[in-house]
Every structure is written in structure tokens, then in C-alpha cells.
Structure 1
């Protein structure tokens, strides 16, 4: 009798907890996205949109040095946006005639359709479409990329090497801290859960908040270059714009795509005739030192020896 009474009280307690949790969870899931800071609002206001297959893509296009033929296109990383480049934007305009950056589909101020099969191939096609939109399809382009953008750049390089008509003509390529080798790429725990979580992924994306985001992202920066809390809020505001947190698991499929198309994208870097520059921060926990650099030396050491024998 005592045991039954205890079980009844426990059931009543859990029912009360459930009744309290449901409205709290509902309120949490409907928390509005953070307001844009003045700097981020200014970035959006100074940009433009173009349409790719019915989807709005945000981009920035600044005219810099007069008389220079040089054009640079900036490809941002995951999970942020073109706003990543704002600190060096003015410096780039002093070097290049045109400085162009876009928010990839699913990122920043661009559309974030769901459900949608996000792919590196589509992002590369969007870059090509933007340059056609700007009338630059026949110009030689310098590419500066980071992280996720590195893989998009590798796909653009592959297309360029295939001499496919209408493709981007690349003058130079600069890759920075991207997982160009899937075998040395070490995704964060949350990234692993989201990309392979199955039914768990939609739950995690809805429960994600600024605290989880900032705690997960901060360690990928060096100890002296970590963003301030206001900068992290700007990044989070870009993600939350248009409910972007709900497509993060779909965007993260790029990690699986890197493995599947390794030969295509790593192979694109072999036997190139254009200048390629790597910027690599050795404290990067996602592409850890020294595995990444050692594999790079092995791959391109073999390539250099084979070129010498020809």
C-alpha cells in the first residue's frame, strides 16, 4: 500500500513537471532572433540581393582601386556569413578594383529554404551565377576562401581545370584553414551530432541557443584572436536570421560530401598552373597541427617529384 502511494505521488510529480515544461519549451522555441547590431545592420543595408533559381542571395560589391583590373571574390566559412570579412574589407579595396563577397545559400542574409539538399556543387554554381549577374563571367578572378568556402573554391577550381565553357576563370587562389583533407578533419562534437543525428538533429537545432553556439565556436579561434561577445552576437544574429539555425544540420552535410568527393576536390589542387597560397593557423582544433600539414607535404611532395620527372 505504501509502495503504491509512493508510485502514485511520483507519477503526479512527473505530470506536474511535464505540464510546466511544455509551456516553457514552447516559449523558448519562439524566442525571436536577436536584433541586428548597428554594424551588422549597416552591412546588410549596403549589400544587395540577386535571384538564383527563385532564391534570394545576399552579396556585397565594392569598387576599390581605380584603374586596376584585379577582382577578388571572398568565400566565407561555416556557420557564419560574408560579414566575416568586414575587418579587412577596406584594406582589400585598397588593393583590388572590385571586392565581392556573398552569403552562401542557407547562411547570413541569403534565403534558407527547408527542406533543401544543400551541396557544395550548388554553392559553386551560385558563385558563378553571381559573377554572370555582375557581368564578370569573362574576367580573371582571384579567390580568397576560408573553411567551408575552401571546399567551394576547390569545386570551382575543378571546373576551371576541366575548361568547361561558361565557368569561372581563376587567376589565383588563397585557401585558409579549411578541411581540404577529410582524413585530418576533426569536426566538433555538436557538428558530429548534427550531421549524423538523424531524428535527433531537428531537436538539437531547435534547442540551440547563443550559449551553446558561443561555447562551441570560441575554441576554434586562437587564444589572442577570439571574438568579443558582441562579435559572437553578430554571428549568432546572422545564423538566426530567417531561422537559419533550423538548417544547420542540412548545411553540415558538406562534411560527408568532402569524404565522398575527396578525389575530385583534393585532386583539383594537383598540377595547377595558377598561384595557390595557404594560410594555416596551427592552433586550429578542427584541422589540427601537425596532421594537416604533414599530409599536405606528403601529397604535394609526391606531386612535385612527379612534375620534376616529366
Structure 2
């Protein structure tokens, strides 16, 4: 009996019914038709085995899809940058010299899960305001090394930034920091070290935080983030299953209705993640959400007690066609503390 004739012929259904009846008869009368029924069931099991064996190589191919090629714009960003070494890992950074006669230095800290390329649209305008503009890809992001297994932490990323500043000979320079999302928490660790005069710290001249979720009790991670950071042995499997369509649908909600990235920009983000298998370390990096909660007093405390001029900007969706920007300006330690000690921020936030 062939595979095709057994399962796809018009008589297949009849055969199955006959087997069911034969089984019922065999249970009561020990019918000899039981042997025919057993053969059909064995053939059925063999069919599912064939399907499973076919799926294995297909799944293997899917899970090892090569990363997309760098776009001309993304490749240009990479070739215009440099690398330094941090504990045996190569860290990518980009630096431009801007305004002549100014000594102002601006350091840009990107968010999760993207890279320094986030800043490309405002890079040139920033060089018209600052003497030196610097951005890096954190360890595990963008063009930097992405070691695995590895215990990624905010503390380590802050040390990466300090090493870069020293590498550029700016340890004695007062640094202005503009950070976003994940970079906000790194900036707060840098602020803590600076205010406590820790060895190797950088001196922060001013700090601007944007969309950071810095208060754990008011931060609500997306479903995928929660699954990846808390699913244990399942997380590495999930990181392999994430593809461009899944990624782009998820991250588009982060943007306002009038600032949606183009398809090409979504691809550049995804390419940066896939570079050096960065998708496989996302679950490890996402432990920063748990670290925010564990070290809340250290990082939120640094913001409420600092004398460094700070600003916090938050963009939030407030309806079908509404996108608001809220901003806190902290001009000194007393002012900053009074504004930020209420983590909900409430009336202390001035709507712009």
C-alpha cells in the first residue's frame, strides 16, 4: 500500500472508518481485522514522522538566516567610525569635530535595542553647536562586539563610556550628555559616580535624559521584553525566532504618528541588531529592566540629589491623534530634588 493511496485517495476515509469498526469488533469478538487496523495506524505514525523530519532542516535553515547586508547609509556610518578595546571587546564609536573656538563636548548615549546610528539625523546640527560630538555603540549593540554568554549590566556599560572618554583624552574635560532610553540609566550611573567622585569617573557638565523609563514603578515593559527577560531557557529560543516583521511591528509603536521611520530606516535598525548575531544577546541585555528596580535608590537618588544641571524630556501618546512632550528642567540640587522625588512627576512636569 503506497503512502499516496493510503492517505490521499477517495477510499482513505472509508478505510479509517473500517479500522474504527474493526477495533470495536476486536475489543468484543477478537476480530482478525485488528491486524489491518494496526497497520493503518503504524502507517499514520510513519507519515507524521516524515513530516517532522522534513520540518527539522527547514527550521534549521530559518534559524540560521544570514543577517541583511548593510545599507549604503549604515555602511557609511560604520566606515566613518573607529574602535577601541574594552576588556578584550571592540567597541565602536564615532566622533566629529564641529564648532571651532568652542570647548563644549557632547556625548550621545543610545537606547535599546538599537545603536549610535539613532543619532544620524541630528548629527550635523549638533556639530554646529558643539566642538566635539561623540557617540558609541554599547557592548552588545550595533557594530560593537556582542559576547555570549555574558552578564550584561548597566555598571559595565558605564565603565565602557568612561574608558572611551579616557581613550579620547577627555578625562579632565567637562562632558555634556544627551541620552535616550537604555542610555538614560547608563547616564544615571555615570552621574552617581561623578557626584561621588569615584575613581575614573567623568565630570558631567550637563545632562539631558529622554524617554528613559527611569522610574521602575511607572515603567511598563512591552510583552516581548517581559517574556525575553524572565523566560529562562526559553528566551534563547525566542531570540532566534524574532524576524524583521515581528521587530518592525513592535518598535513602530515607540514612534509618534508623524515621526514613523521609513521602511529603509526600520531595516537599518534591524540590520544593526542582527550584526554579529546581536539578536541572540537581547535577552541578556534586557536584564537592565530588573537592574533598574534593584538599584532604584542609587540611580533615581543620583538624579534627585545632584547639583548638575539636568533636563528630562518625555514624549507620550495621549490619544488617537495626540502626542505630547513633557519636560522637567532641574537648575540646581534643591530644585531637581523637589521636582523628581515624586516618581509620577504629576504637576511638576510642565507640558510643552
| TM-score when normalising by structure 1 | 0.91
Instruction: Mark the runs of 5 or more structure 2 residues left unpaired by the alignment.
Output: 1-18, 24-36, 329-338
User: Could you tell me which of 342, 347, 350 is aligned with 1:298?
Assistant: 342
For residues 345 and 260 of structure 2, what CA distance do their matches in structure 1 show? 34
Q: How far is the alpha carbon of 1:223 from its aligned partner? A: 1.2
Q: Report if the CA contact (8 A) 2:127-2:133 is conserved.
A: yes
Give the drift of 1:167: 0.8
Change (3 A) 1:102 1:301: closer
Cα shift at 1:300: 9.3
Partner of 2:202: 168
Q: What's the secondary structure of 1:199's corresponding residue? A: helix
Q: Work out which of the residue numbers 69, 72, 76 in structure 1 matches 2:110.
A: 76
Corresponding position of 1:14: 48
Relative contact order (C-alpha < 8 Å, sep 6+): which is higher?
1
Q: 1-side partners of 2:314 and 2:202: how far apart?
A: 25
Q: CA deviation at 1:273?
A: 1.3
Give secondary structure in 2 for the equivalent of 1:174: strand
Q: 1:127 aligns with which of 161, 166, 188?
A: 161
Find the partner of 1:240 among 269, 274, 285: 274
Counterpart Cα distance in 2 of 1:136 and 1:284: 41
Distance 1:264-1:278 versus aligned 2 partners, 3 A rule: same
Structure showing greater Rg: 2
CA RMSD of superposed structures (Å): 2.4
C-alpha distance in 2 between matches for 1:97 and 1:69? 6
Of 177, 185, 190 in structure 2, the residue corresponding to residue 151 of structure 1 is 185
Instruction: Tell me the equivalent position of 2:129.
Output: 95
Q: Which runs of 4+ in 1 moved over 2 A?
A: 1-14, 295-302
Report if aligned partners of 1:180, 1:266 keep a CA contact under 8 Å in 2: yes
Total equivalences in the alignment: 299
**Which residue of structure 1 aligns with residue 73 of structure 2?**
39
1:249 aligns with 2:283: yes
Which of 242, 265, 281 pairs up with 1:231?
A: 265
Is contact 2:304-2:340 (8 Å) kept? no
Give the Cα–Cα distance (whole angstroms) in 2 for the partners of residues 204 and 157 of structure 1.
Answer: 35
Native 8 Å contact 1:148 1:178 kept in 2: yes
- Any idea what the Cα deviations from partners look like across 1:22-55, whole Å, max 9, x if unmatched? 1111111121100000000000000000001111
User: Counterpart of 2:198 in 1: which secondary structure?
Assistant: coil
Q: Counterpart of 1:275?
A: 309
Is contact 1:174-1:279 (8 Å) kept? yes
